[in-house]
């Protein structure tokens, strides 16, 4: 595995190591992980994926298959890529001796947590387009998501867009001109089952 392997974070920890740490209930404590913000955000994401996986299985075990491994793997790979600190997004401060900012990774993790709190939504990827390193520059946020089979794509997209916009307005100084939602997958769907109208 190389530094560029998608499942390796910038700090050198791998998603596999973090998954094992999570599975062991974070014992014994690993200082390297516990004081690394990227590792902590990745653990949050992995924890959410594990919960989702359990929920889907418990949802209707007799009708639905286990979540496909490839789907889970894609989400985990996205988490590994997006928790990286990335760009430094400036915040306002009147004193020229002060520099305040928020990392792009923290913003993406925030978006993921907002989305994952909505029933039926699983965030895939989050991208911030535009000159986000310049205050007042317009930026667009694009989020891909999977929604639960049978739910309304329009309704969930609207809720997701509204909540993400509100969170970005609350926590950042980004000038967000658009939050684009792309529903690119469905989950909780049994492709082997006969669908009746």
Which positions touch another protein (CB under 8 A)?
Answer: 11, 29, 31-32, 34-37, 40-41, 44, 85, 88, 91-93, 95, 97-103, 105-106, 109-110, 113, 170-173
Cβ closer to another protein: 105 or 120?
A: 105
* Shortest spacing between CB 125 and another protein, in angstroms: 19
Question: Shortest approach of another protein to residue 90 CB, angstroms?
Answer: 10
Pairing, β 175-187 against β 138-148: parallel
Task: Answer yes or no: are the C-beta atoms of 130 and 118 closer than 8 Å.
Answer: no
Which residues sit opposite 145 in a β-bridge?
A: 123, 183
With respect to another protein, which residue has the nearer C-beta, 12 or 68?
A: 12
Of the pair 51, 93, the CB lying nearest another protein is at 93
Burial of 181: CB neighbours in 10 Å, binned 0-12, 13-18, 19+ = buried
The distance of closest approach from Cβ of residue 30 to another protein in the complex, given in angstroms and rounded to an integer, is 9
Total number of residues shown for the chain: 197
Cβ distance to another protein smaller for residue 8 or 11: 11
Residue 83 and residue 36 in contact, taking contact as beta carbons nearer than 8 Å:
no
């Amino acid at each position: 595995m190389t530094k560029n392997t998608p499942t390796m974070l910038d700090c050198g920890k791998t998603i596999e190591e973090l998954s094992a740490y999570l599975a062991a209930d974070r014992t014994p404590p690993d200082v390297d992980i516990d004081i690394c913000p990227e590792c902590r955000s990745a653990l949050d994401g992995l924890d959410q994926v594990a919960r989702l996986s359990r929920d889907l299985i418990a949802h209707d075990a007799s009708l639905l298959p286990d979540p496909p491994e490839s789907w889970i793997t894609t989400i985990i790979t996205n988490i590994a890529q997006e928790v990286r600190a990335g760009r430094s997004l400036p915040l306002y401060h009147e004193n020229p001796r002060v520099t305040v900012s928020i990392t792009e990774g923290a913003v993406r993790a925030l978006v993921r947590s907002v989305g994952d709190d909505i029933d039926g939504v699983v965030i895939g990827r989050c991208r911030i387009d535009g000159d986000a390193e310049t205050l007042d520059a317009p930026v667009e946020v694009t989020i891909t998501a999977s929604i639960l089979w049978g739910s309304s794509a329009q309704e969930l997209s609207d809720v997701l867009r509204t909540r993400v916009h509100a969170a970005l307005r609350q926590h950042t100084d980004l000038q967000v001109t658009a939050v684009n939602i792309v529903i690119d997958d469905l989950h909780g769907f049994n492709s082997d089952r006969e669908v009746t109208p």
